[in-house]
Structure 1
Amino acid sequence: MRLTKNEHAALLLEESGRSLVIDPGSLSTPFPDLTGVVAVVLTHEHPDHWTPEQLDRIRKASPGVPIYGPEGVASAAPDYDITVVGPGDTVDIEPFTLRFFGGAHEIIHSSIPQIQNVGVLVNDVFYYPGDSYAVPEGVDVKVLAAPLGAPWLKISDAIDFVVAVGARRVFGTHDMTLSVVGRDMHHARLQWAASQNGGEFLAVEPGESIDI
């Protein structure tokens, strides 16, 4: 399975000529090739994780593609047929198996209502938590996409999350809110966190891919 990182939180996974898109939002440029997409996962309703323009572009290239997300996404995107998923759900859509974890977005501030969020585990090897620190308990995660910067993120919490998951390889995502200097500082912190369980940190740039 090949994973390609785009700007911010957008991810593309490819296996056997088919693709899975995760969180194509307002801070991400479109992936250049959207043919063969068999599913889209939206972890939550915030626009930096989905936009109508991104979904329309995907559906034009891959008509009828199913879109999965929590109830909040279905409410925020009434013009789209969203298949609602929650923690504990499993979806098989060849060649991908999707398992969902978590349930809640990290708290931004007490004045801002907390919304739903799901983390997604793909083929039992790759995990992306969305905007949360939900740990997929009992899973041997090979590759983890760890959030780097957000209004809700404190780097000490991100470090603890990476250590708790204990993935073999870690790279940063959710990073368009950071300056280059801030991103590099957070890379260094998560590199230390990954090493605590014998893992490695990968500085994956937008457009770059890794094999899982």
Structure 2
Amino acid sequence: MEVTKLEHACQIVTEGSARLVIDPGNFTRPVDVTGVVAVVVTHEHPDHVTPEQVRRILDANPGAVVIGPAGVARALAGASDAGGAGGADGVVVDVVTAGGRRTVGPFDLSFHGTRHNLIHSSVPIVDNTGVLVNGRLFHPGDSYTVPDVPVEVLAAPVGAPWLKVSEMMDYVLAVGPRLAYPVHEATLSDVGYGMHTGRLREAVEPSGSLVVLRPGESLTI
């Protein structure tokens, strides 16, 4: 299984000729790939999903399904266009929450968590459900959800309005992955990214290792 990190939160997971796209948002380059069997969206914020990104993927991959929590279904309900990405009623989302499982092509998906981390008391908390891919790779979205099963590889958020470095380090220590790589970095300067990644490394390396991927780079797991 290969994971390709794009900008910010988006990942493309490849198994054989099949691809899974996770969180294609507006901080990410246009996602132009074929072979996609599913798009998983952890939550509705635009840095994790936009109608334009979903339309582009579905137009190129008409058989792909979109999976996410209820808030994502509401956000994409009107996301239709002449290309038929969702028809007159918008993009159809297969709604999942914590404890859900789906099998799409070669991907076994289990879902963990229900809510986005708190940004501020004035900002509504939205649905957020992380995804564990083939029992190995966990993408938590914008949360500190710790799955109730071991996590081999963690896509670890390192920069966000809701993120505090000490809490990020505690989260990674709680998950205890064998391997981690930083994601959700678009809100950081180069200096901030280096600092946060350094703290992430400190949290990971007692029990595992850290790989820093530039957008477009891949990791075989």
Aligned to 1:155: 165
- Supply the distance in 2 between the matched residues of 1:164 and 1:19 (Cα, whole angstroms): 29
Tell me what 1:120 maps to: 131
Instruction: Give the aligned partner of residue 29 of structure 1.
Output: 29
Structure 2 runs not aligned, ≥5 long: 78-89
TM-score (normalizing by structure 1): 0.97
* Distance in 2, Cα, partners of 1:95 & 1:142: 18
Find the counterpart in structure 1 of residue 80 from structure 2.
Answer: none
CA distance in 1 between counterparts of 2:5 and 2:44 reads 20
CA distance in 2, matches of 1:175, 1:6: 11
The residue correspondences of 1:35-114 to structure 2 (distance < 5 A) are: 35-78=34-77, 79-114=90-125
The structural deviation recorded for 1:176 is 0.2
Tell whether the 8 Å contact from 2:7 to 2:29 is kept in structure 1 after alignment: yes
Task: Please tell me the residue identity of whatever aligns with 1:27.
Answer: F
User: Quick one: distance in 1 between partners of 2:217 and 2:101?
Assistant: 28
Give the percent of matched residue pairs that are identical in Structure 1 and Structure 2. 51
Deviation string, structure 1 residues 23-79 (Cα, Å, up to 9, x no partner): 0000000234x1110000000000000111111110111013100010001111111
The Cα of 1:159 is off from its aligned counterpart by 0.4
Inter-partner Cα distance in structure 1 for 2:163 and 2:187: 11
| Partner Cα distance (2:105, 2:149) in 1 | 24
**Are positions 1:138 and 2:149 aligned together?**
yes
Cα distance, 1:94 vs structure 2: 1.7
- CA contact 2:31–2:56 (8 Å) conserved in 1: no
CA distance in 1, matches of 2:172, 2:160: 16
Deviation at 1:122, TM superposition (A): 0.2
Take 2:148 and 2:202, find their aligned partners in 1: how far apart are those partners? 22
TM-score if structure 2 supplies the norm length? 0.93
2:214 is the alignment partner of 1:205: yes
Report the 3-state secondary structure (helix = DSSP H, G, I; strand = E; otherwise coil) of the residue aligned with 1:117.
Answer: coil
Query: Which runs of structure 1 show a deviation greater than 4 angstroms over 4 or more consecutive aligned residues?
Result: none
RMSD over aligned CA atoms reads 0.8
Distance 2:137 2:100 in 1: 16
Amino acid at match of 1:125: R
